[in-house]
Structure 1
Amino acid sequence: MSRFAEAKQKFRGSIAPIVTPFNEDNSIDFKSFENLINWHIENGTHGISVTGTTGEPSSLTVEERVQVMEAAVKTINGRVPFIPGTGSTNHEETLYLTKKAQEIGADGAMVIVPYYNKPSQHALYKHFKAVADSVDIPIIIYNIPGRTATNLQVGTLAKLSKDCPNIIGVKESNKDFEHINRVLHECGRDFLLYSGIELLCFPMLAIGGAGHISATANIVPDKVAEIYDAWNEGDVQRAQDLHFELMELNDVLFKDTNPAPLKAAMGMMGTIKPILRLPMDLPTQELQDEVREVLNKYVELPDGVVSK
């Protein structure tokens, strides 16, 4: 079995996108970060990703992104696959971070569609092909048009999957379910398709998806992982029940830009300090109160922990 075929077997389930915790002085809280990774693995998370959207990569320097990846590799220690986000709006920076991911021992890399630039499909093809050609690790493309203002079209993705053996999957944070269906139709049924939209985690499994990369895993990693486990074991009813059980939590976590409500919730849980770097910030107090009300239905909140 080739290395990339093996990755297609291993990179399945709930790949949790870990937040980047900060201290009061805005430095990275590596202790909390390590604790989060261990907590995820103990609660059934199938893989770990860092410095994706939920990890606030645009608020980190390139050096900090490398430090976060290095800390994750050390903490995970081969227990589950590690697929860090290495994409950027800058091509050379993306090349550097993706090569660095390979150098430090990451199992793969997740590379976002460049944001703000709004490149053409031809330019996107050249960008992703150059990144894939620069390394010998599996690449997961990350398509999130709501944040990048550019949609990677199915035809472009299909051409990349055929021309680059190490481009083995895509995270689709795309509400166009017709587009998502056509990804597997055009790229092949063995192409790894992950949901980045919380309410599509279960539906994507039904059409042959490989799993999900859901921010909600930072709150209830066991339940998010169990959606995949139940489906994989043939317990469709359990997977469906979990899908609807988590709906209210999923909804409230995205009433403001991710990861603002998420970090507020994690602050209430006591797993991190509820701090974002500007220009991101915590939600309004009104929304934080709503987050707390919903969160109380899913987890037992410790006494004396406040989100402000």
Structure 2
Amino acid sequence: MKLEGIIAYPITPFKAENQDIDFDALTITLNALLEQECSAIAPLGSAGESAYLSWQEWQQVAEKSIEVVNHRVPVILGISELTTTMAIQKAKKAEELGADVIMVIPISYWKLTDQEIYEYYQQIATATKLPIMVYNNPATSGVDMSPELITKMFQEIENICMVKDSTGDIQRMHKFHELTQGKLPFYNGCNPLALEAFCAGASGWCTVAPNLLGKLPHQLYQAAKSGNLTQAQTLFYKQLPLLRFIVQGGLPKTIKAGLNELGFNVGDPRKPLQKASPSEVNQLKSLIKIAITQ
């Protein structure tokens, strides 16, 4: 499977009174995302607070998301687990529910060796027929996979067919291209790197930005793909202040605050994460207005 363009990440809405999952709000926000010309929807990522959901809740969000998207675009389910056993359980459930791809990131308490990471992915791949996106985000996972290791897994493990890198290091993307002669599709997961990543040949941009910026991320992708660098720069710099702000403030907090301001009523992040302060909300409103009205 070759995905190109904007891979959009939804949040997981919670009810204000008890922080139970709000499936009505999930349906509304997913349908809103699908209107922003996204190429795929990726529930249960870090913005979706997957680390704060129970196994039952993970299954419920996965099932509801697949049902709502209803084959309009591919669904990429996020899997982030300390243990291989639980990652395999989620991979099997993703396949059973009808997901199109799984995005897998190993999480570390003890520092993992390259061999341990390799076997983690290899055993997950053996347990499912689904395509696997390797996700590298050391800031959240505690695991930093080298381009050499990811390339080795891409070449030797059949299901592994794409990589999302969120390190913010453009040299990683150059390295993926060089090590695989351009055969490994790579996706940018660092929001402020979107312009450089497209110029480096990224197949897509994995981002929460369409939740707040509508079609602007897609327009940036189209401009870059068509070779119109001037337009791509203009579109990117409109978005950059907001992209920086949501990353620095934490995605669940800032995206939920923005969606609430836009009238979606998605609740607050699950504790211990805190909601945005009034000053952060005001700053967010200002940045959204600047981006969409310039």
Q: TM-score range by the shorter chain?
A: over 0.9
**After TM superposition, where is structure 1 displaced by more than 6 Å over at least 4 residues in a row?**
none
Contact 1:161 1:187 (C-alpha < 8 Å) held by counterparts: no
**Aligned-residue offset at 1:267:** 1.0
Q: Secondary structure at the match of 1:296?
A: helix
CA distance in 1, matches of 2:203, 2:265: 29
Q: Secondary structure at the match of 1:289?
A: helix
Q: Secondary structure at the match of 1:53?
A: coil
- Matching of residue 21 in structure 1 with residue 1 in structure 2: no
Provide the alpha-carbon RMSD of the alignment: 1.6
Contact 2:102 2:133 (C-alpha < 8 Å) held by counterparts: yes
Q: Deviations over 1:31-67 (max 9, x none)?
A: 1111112112222111100001110001101111111
Contact 2:154 2:161 (C-alpha < 8 Å) held by counterparts: yes
- Residue 93 of structure 1 is matched in structure 2 by 86
| Equivalent residue in structure 2 for 1:104, among 74, 97, 115 | 97
- Matching of residue 137 in structure 1 with residue 130 in structure 2: yes
Alignment of 1:1-308 (within 5 A): 7-8=1-2, 11-24=3-16, 25-298=18-291
Matched residues, number: 292
**Which AA in structure 2 matches 1:191?**
L
Q: Secondary structure at the match of 1:204?
A: helix
Of all paired residues, the percent bearing the same amino acid is 25
Contact 2:107 2:142 (C-alpha < 8 Å) held by counterparts: no
Contact 1:89 1:117 (C-alpha < 8 Å) held by counterparts: no
Q: Secondary structure at the match of 2:133?
A: strand
**Which AA in structure 1 matches 2:80?**
G
Listed as ranges, the gaps of 5+ residues in structure 2 are none
Greater shift in the superposed pair: 252-261 or 161-170? 252-261
Contact 1:174 1:197 (C-alpha < 8 Å) held by counterparts: yes
Q: Secondary structure at the match of 2:217?
A: helix
CA distance in 1, matches of 2:23, 2:174: 39
Q: Deviations over 1:233-282 (max 9, x none)?
A: 33332222211110111122123222212211111111233311111111
CA distance in 2, matches of 1:204, 1:63: 36
Greater shift in the superposed pair: 281-290 or 219-228? 281-290
**Aligned-residue offset at 1:299:** 5.1
Listed as ranges, the gaps of 5+ residues in structure 1 are 1-6, 301-308
TM-score by length of 2: 0.94
TM-score by length of 1: 0.90
CA distance in 2, matches of 1:293, 1:16: 23
**Aligned-residue offset at 1:121:** 1.4
**Aligned-residue offset at 1:289:** 2.4
**Aligned-residue offset at 1:166:** 1.5
**Aligned-residue offset at 1:97:** 0.7
Contact 1:173 1:197 (C-alpha < 8 Å) held by counterparts: yes
CA distance in 2, matches of 1:55, 1:185: 33
Greater shift in the superposed pair: 140-149 or 281-290? 281-290
CA distance in 2, matches of 1:111, 1:121: 15
Q: Secondary structure at the match of 1:157?
A: helix
Q: Secondary structure at the match of 2:33?
A: helix
**Which AA in structure 2 matches 1:224?**
P
Contact 2:10 2:30 (C-alpha < 8 Å) held by counterparts: yes
